[in-house]
Amino acid sequence: MRLIDYLDTGASRGPDRPCLTMAGKDYSYEEVQTLSYRIGRKLADSGIAAGDKVAILSANDPVAFTCVFGLSRAGAVWCPINPRNEAGENRYILENFDCRFLIFHSAFADMVEKMLPDLPKLVQAVCLDADLPFARSLAMWLDSVEDSPFFRAPLDDVAMIPGTGGTTGKPKGVMLTDTNLEIMSALTLMGYPFEGRPRYLALAPLTHAAGVLCFPVLALGGQIVIMPHPDIGEFVRLIEAHRITHTFLPPTLIYMLLDSPYLEKADLSSLQCFWYGAAPISVARLKEALTRIGPMAQFFGQTEAPMMITMMAPVEHYHDDGSIAEERLRSAGRAGPLVRLGIMDGEGRLLPAGERGEVVLRSSLVMKGYYNNPGATEEAFAHGWHHTGDIGYLDGDNFLYIVDRARDMIITGGFNVYSVEVEQALAQHDDVLDCAVVGLPDDKWGERIVAVVQPKEGRSIDAPALIAFVKTQIGSIKAPKQLEVWPDLPRSRVGKVLKAEIRVKLTQ
């Protein structure tokens, strides 16, 4: 399966049915197919060879997403660029991933114009929605191009090269193959409920998790309703208006939904599967979501092994008697049937259930490697397994529990303390919206546990009382020795808390 095959399979189930929808406008499968034919043919006519890298820089937009299928028809490789990136990171990606063509939205025109002189490998830039002095509009670029079916064989099996999250250092290019995305789609369709023709609401960026979740939906002939910007009120309205069956939000936006006045009267009865992932979720807020939203479903993955390393379907959040399976809510689910999961020590030995080590896996889900970075690729594939960089353990039922990133473990007073455990305890408090825990050098403890807390709107934090609360949850050794209250936490463009920035700010 290539990227175009998901679209074409969906079209075979009904070319007149809605494929992409935004702002009340439907694009049928036939319309999306036809536009992708024209884009693919024009890329080939413009000198883009099979295997060339084509970048797309846009907020969520149906035409921008259609361009993904157009470049696939030309045998090109998709380089998705997060619209929240700063200019320096975008310039780095375009140059170091060897991008030869850029398709962008006019909202980024100023940024693109400033970057172009520093991008000698880029042969052309096209603007999705405007004719600019330095870039033709997509409509002008496609003028008089035939709309008959077009296909060109790819150079190899690399389908896309996303950048790593960028929480530390420069992003690495992750070479994801057609097989990687096919395995991800297969796991999605095997592991979660899909009854009838799905209707998927995409609020999170289509350049990341929200985008690749579209592929299995398209294969079933489903409809993708696209939101250009986060808006919780509109999110709820669209679920009701389109009878949405599937959607995805990261934990931060789920917290906003739970705190929103729109949720109380919302009709969410159409939902079959509300995915959460991309960052740890508060167990307390997850219990609330299960009660107030309904069919929550988790996945755990990373750019290098997209989305479905482990999965927890809605039904697995409950016991057979219908009660919430609270003991599982801290877990990341179980490995899918096409993934072999292990816990490994520093010597490359696999550890038994209950012992903590690095989460490793073997699967056709795993990337081909890092683009032009054999050293990082070799390190990631040490001992014949893909290394996630996450510390965790498996219980007796093979549920995976992530306890921290390897670099975030805190050694305080001779004890190993995992920041996620402290964060979960803090998040149990009613006044806490979000939090982050780091370790800082300390003469007495070696490292002291420092918590930074973001209060819920209209709430205040009593630091000594909150520390005392954590002690009742996990004991005094793991409780913060220092607690700061900030109005917001620094985050990456995909919403992950930037602990490196927190450490820098705390030590200034």
Residue 93 belongs to a domain: yes
Question: Which CATH number does the domain housing residue 433 bear?
Answer: 3.30.300.30
Query: What does each C-alpha distance from 37 to 33, 211, 271, 508 come to in angstroms?
Result: 6, 20, 33, 55
Burial environment of residue 190 by CB neighbours within 10 A (0 to 12, 13 to 18, 19 or more): middle
Lookup: tokens for 465: 């009382």
Q: Which domain holds residue 130?
A: 29-177
Residue 121 belongs to a domain: yes
Mean pLDDT over each residue of the chain, to the nearest integer: 92
Residue 54 belongs to a domain: yes
Highest mean predicted confidence (pLDDT) among 34-48, 202-216, 459-473: 34-48
Q: What is the pLDDT of residues 48-75, one digit of tens each?
A: 999 999 999 999 999 999 999 999 999 9
Q: Cα separation of 26 and 23, whole Å?
A: 9
Give the pLDDT band of residue 444 (cuts 50, 70, 90).
Answer: confident
Q: What is the pLDDT of residues 489-501, one digit of tens each?
A: 988 766 778 888 8
- pLDDT at site 407: 67
Give the pLDDT band of residue 33 (cuts 50, 70, 90).
Answer: very high
Residue 167: pLDDT above 50? no
Cβ atoms of 358 and 372 within 8 Å: the answer is no
% of the chain with per-residue pLDDT over 70:
97
- pLDDT at site 56: 97
Element (H, E) at 78: strand 77-81
Residue 474 belongs to a domain: yes
Q: For residue 381, how many other CB atoms are within 10 A of its CB?
A: 17
Element (H, E) at 439: strand 432-442
Cβ atoms of 216 and 311 within 8 Å: the answer is no
Q: Cα separation of 159 and 173, whole Å?
A: 12
Q: Which residues are within 8 A (CB) of 139 and not within 5 positions of it... i.e. 6 or more apart?
A: none
Cβ atoms of 491 and 253 within 8 Å: the answer is no
Residue 486 belongs to a domain: yes
- pLDDT at site 192: 97
Last residue of a domain, one of 153, 177, 201: 177
Determine the 3-state secondary structure of 367 from DSSP: coil
> Phi and psi for 184 in degrees, rounded to 5?
-60, -45
Residue 304: pLDDT above 60? yes
Last residue of a domain, one of 123, 158, 177: 177
Closest CA relative to residue 499, chosen from 167, 164, 252: 167
Question: Which CATH number does the domain housing residue 57 bear?
Answer: 3.40.50.980
Buried-exposed string 127-160: b where 16+ CB fall within 10 A, e elsewhere: bbbeeeeebbbbeebbeeeeeeebebebeeebbb
**Quick one: average pLDDT of 207-229?**
93
Residue 333 belongs to a domain: no
Q: What is the pLDDT of residues 220-238, one digit of tens each?
A: 999 999 999 889 999 999 9
Residue 497 belongs to a domain: yes
Q: Tokens 């979720």 belong to which residue?
A: 281
- pLDDT at site 278: 76
Q: Tokens 């309904």 belong to which residue?
A: 294
Q: What is the pLDDT of residues 392-433, one digit of tens each?
A: 999 999 999 988 776 677 878 767 777 888 888 899 899 999
Last residue of a domain, one of 141, 160, 177: 177
Closest CA relative to residue 166, chosen from 489, 501, 493, 504: 493
Strand partners, 223: 199
Q: Cα separation of 298 and 278, whole Å?
A: 10
Q: What is the pLDDT of residues 316-373, one digit of tens each?
A: 999 999 999 998 999 999 999 999 999 999 899 999 999 999 999 999 999 999 999 9
Residue 206 belongs to a domain: no
Give the number of domains in the chain: 2
- pLDDT at site 168: 47
Q: How many residues in the chain? A: 508
Three-state SS for 103-128 is: EECHHHHHHHHHHHHHCCCCCEEEEC
Q: Tokens 């800082």 belong to which residue?
A: 440
Q: What is the pLDDT of residues 121-138, one digit of tens each?
A: 999 999 999 999 999 999
pTM of the model: 0.84
